Amino acid sequence: MRGVALIMAVGGVLLATAGPALADGGLEVNPSTAYRGQTIGISTGDNCRDNDGTATVYSKAFGKVQTTVREGEADVSVTIRSNVEYDVYSITLTCHPSNRKISGAVTVKKATPKRCWQDSYGKWHGKCYHRGPETGFGGSLTDGPTPMALAGFGLLGTASIVAATAWMRRGRV
């Protein structure tokens, strides 16, 4: 039993410290998860040949794009079409004249609208769940006072009245 636990521990350490496996000839897609209408960058990472002059990039997510190859590397920016389905799309880059094909993928996800944002003038827009300046002193997440705040103010008021009454009585005697 100890041998199995030791093997599992050593295997876990080896897996945790292992670097990512890189396929030869893969495309670098940044970001690899995009939204409709977003611009992404695609790079060959020096996988074309030095004598290649052009490259063609194709995907159903954005169509066909031509780019130049410099010192074996081709870089291009493309915009995801606004009418594509939410899915994983393969990207194929073909270097010319060597006809070397390099593949990658991009995931098109549904964009989530920003619930709350601040414009350049400091004004907040959207559904914001904070009130007042962000000073770190806490506050209410709802409009108006909370039951806990009302109870706290009630206790503070009662304690103030008792203290004031005790102070006034002490002065008369």
> pLDDT value at position 133?
56
> pLDDT value at position 139?
54
* Burial zone of 34 (CB within 10 Å; 0-12 exposed, 13-18 middle, 19+ buried): buried
Distance CA 25, CA 31 (A): 18
pLDDT tens digits for 80-118?
A: 999 999 999 999 999 988 888 999 999 999 876 666 767
pLDDT tens digits for 40-54?
A: 999 887 788 888 889
Residue ranges of E strands in 71-154: 73-79, 88-96, 101-109, 116-118, 124-126
User: What is each CA distance from 61 to 67, 76, 79, 107, 113, in whole angstroms?
Assistant: 17, 15, 8, 9, 21
> φ, ψ for residue 42 (rounded to 5)?
-125, 130
pLDDT above 90: percentage of residues in the chain: 24
Q: Where are the domains of the chain?
A: 23-109, 116-163
Distance CA 121, CA 101 (A): 49
Q: pLDDT tier at 78 (50, 70, 90 boundaries)?
A: very high
pLDDT tens digits for 137-166?
A: 555 555 566 677 778 788 888 988 988 888
Cβ neighbors of 154 (< 8 A, separation 6 or more) are: none
CATH 2.60.40.1930 fits 23-109, yes or no: yes
